[in-house]
Amino acid sequence: MKTAGFVLIIVGILMIVFKGFSVTTEKKVVDLGPVEINKKDNKWIGWPTYAGGILAIAGVVMVVAGKKKA
C-alpha cells in the first residue's frame, strides 16, 4: 500500500508540473496512385492541474495509512 502511495505522489507531482503532452497524427488527404499527400496534425492532450493535486493527496493518505498498520 505504501508503494502505491509513493507512485501516486510521484504521478501527481508530474501532472502538476507537466500540464499535458502533444501528439502528432498523420492523415492521408489525397491518394492518386503513386502520388500521396499527407497532413500532420498536432493534438494537445491535457488534464486539469487539480487532478494532479488530488492524486498526490491520495498518495499521501495511502502512505500514512500504510504506516499506521505497520
Residues 30-67: tens digit of each pLDDT: 988 888 999 999 999 999 999 999 999 999 999 999 88
Q: What are phi and psi of 19, to 5 degrees?
A: -75, -10
List the chain domain ranges: 2-69
**How far is 17 from 64, CA to CA, in rounded Å?**
24
3-state secondary structure of 5: helix
Residues 4-18: tens digit of each pLDDT: 999 999 999 999 999
Beta bridge partners of 46: 20
Report the predicted TM-score, pTM, of the whole model to 2 decimal places: 0.70
Rounded to the nearest 5 degrees, what angle is found at the Cα of 68, between the Cα atoms of 63 and 70? 95
